[in-house]
Amino acid sequence: MSISTCGCRVAFILDHELKPYRIPFFVELQKKGFHVTVYHCGELLGFDQAFEQVRVKSKNIGPFEYRTLPCFSDFDFVVHMQNMRVLNLWTMTLNPLRRYNLLHWGIGVSSKRGLRQQNRNVVRVRNMLSYFCSALVLYSDYPKAFIPPNVLKKTFVAPNTVSSPNSTNYSGYEKDCFLFIGALNKRKGLFDLLGAFREFIASGSNARIKRLVIIGNGDQKKFVETYLAENGMEANVHLVGEVQNDVEKQRYFESAVACISPKQAGLSVLESFSYGVPFIAYEDAISGGEHLNIENGVNGFLVQGQRQLVEKMSALDSSEEMARSIGTNAHNFYQNSRSISHMVDGFLDAFDYIAALSDQ
C-alpha cells in the first residue's frame, strides 16, 4: 500500500444486504488505514463496528433496481458491485462529472448457468461499462479471457474468500464422515449427494466413513427427511441444522474427510480448505468462481457425475494417506493464496494503481 492511498475514504455499494462473512474483509481494510463505509439495502448488522454502515432504499423498475445513494463527493474511491441490473452502476459509471474514482467489483462474468455459458452481447456491454471505470476488481482470474486489453491493464484480482480465524490443518485427524454445508435448496444437488452416499454405504466397502453430516436449513429439508426415511438412511445421515458458531462448526470440519456440494460450489470451498478439508463438486457446478480453487486430485476433486462422486468418496475412505495429503494441500492453498489478507491485497493494488495515475 502506498502512502498516497493511506487514510483515503472508501465507499462500497453492495447489490445485496451486508453478509456476516464479509465483515472481516471490511474490518481488515479499515485496519490498513482506510475509512470504509458500506452501503447496502439490508438491516444494519450489530457488531463492534470498525467501519460504517448506511442502509439505503431500493426500488424495482421492471427487471432493474435503483438505489437512493448520496453523491459520494467526499470519497476518494467508490466500489460498486458489477451487477448490471442495478441502474446506479450505469448512471455512476457513465457520469462525466463524477469527482471520485469508481471501481467495479464482482465475478466479471455471468454465473447463473455456470461460468462456461456466456452471452456474447452481455459480455460486450459489461466490457463497455468497465472501460469507463477507474479499475476493475475480480473474484478470480477466470474472466480475464473475456476482457479486452484496454480494460485488462486496469484489472486486478481480489480472491473471493472468507475469514477463518480458527484455521487449522485437520487433515491428520481421525475422520468418520462426509460433510455438506449450506442452504438446503435444489441448486446444490443435495439429492445427488444423498444418492451417491446411499450407493457408497450399500457397497459395504466403507471402512472408516459411516456418516454424512448436513449443516444448514432450507426449503428442501422436509423432502430430505422423507428421502432418508424411505431409504432407511436416518441412522447414517445427520441433519444438524444451521450452525453459526465458528467453534461448533470447527468441530464438524475436524471429523470430515471431505466437504461435498455437487452442483453449487461457493465460499464453503475456501472455508473447508482453511481446515484442511478437501472439497468435491461437479465440474460444471454453479459458482462465482470459487470452484476454480479446486485443483482436481490435488486439493479436492471435480467430478463429472454421481458415479464419479461415489468413486472419489470410496477412494477417500480407503486411503487415509491420500486423504491426508489432499487435505494438507487444501490447507496450504488457503493459507498461502486465499486468506482474507490476499483479498485485501487485491484492492490495495487497485487503489495504488489509481493513485499512481493521479500523481502523473
Instruction: Count Cβ atoms within 10 A of the Cβ of residue 192 and give its class: 0-12 exposed, 13-18 middle, 19 or more buried.
Output: middle
Q: Which residue in the block uniquely carries the three cell numbers 448506511?
A: 54
**pTM exceeds 0.85, yes or no:** yes
Report d(CA 64, CA 81) in Å as an integer.
14
Report d(CA 26, CA 79) in Å as an integer.
12
Report d(CA 52, CA 287) in Å as an integer.
29
Q: Which domains does the chain have, with CATH numbers?
A: 9-161+339-359 (3.40.50.2000), 177-337 (3.40.50.2000)
Whole-number Cα distances in Å, 19 to 22, 24, 38, 42 = 6, 10, 11, 9
Question: How far is the first Cα of the chain from the last one, in angstroms, to the nearest whole number?
Answer: 18
Task: Show pLDDT as tens, one digit a residue, over the chain (360 residues).
Answer: 554 567 899 999 999 999 999 999 999 999 999 999 999 999 998 877 789 999 999 999 999 999 999 999 999 999 999 999 999 999 999 999 999 999 999 998 875 555 566 678 888 999 999 999 999 999 999 999 999 999 999 999 999 999 999 999 999 999 999 999 999 998 899 999 999 999 999 987 767 899 999 999 999 999 999 999 999 999 999 999 999 888 999 999 999 999 999 999 999 999 999 999 999 999 999 888 898 999 999 999 999 999 999 999 999 999 999 999 999 999 999 999 999 999 999 999 999 999 998 776
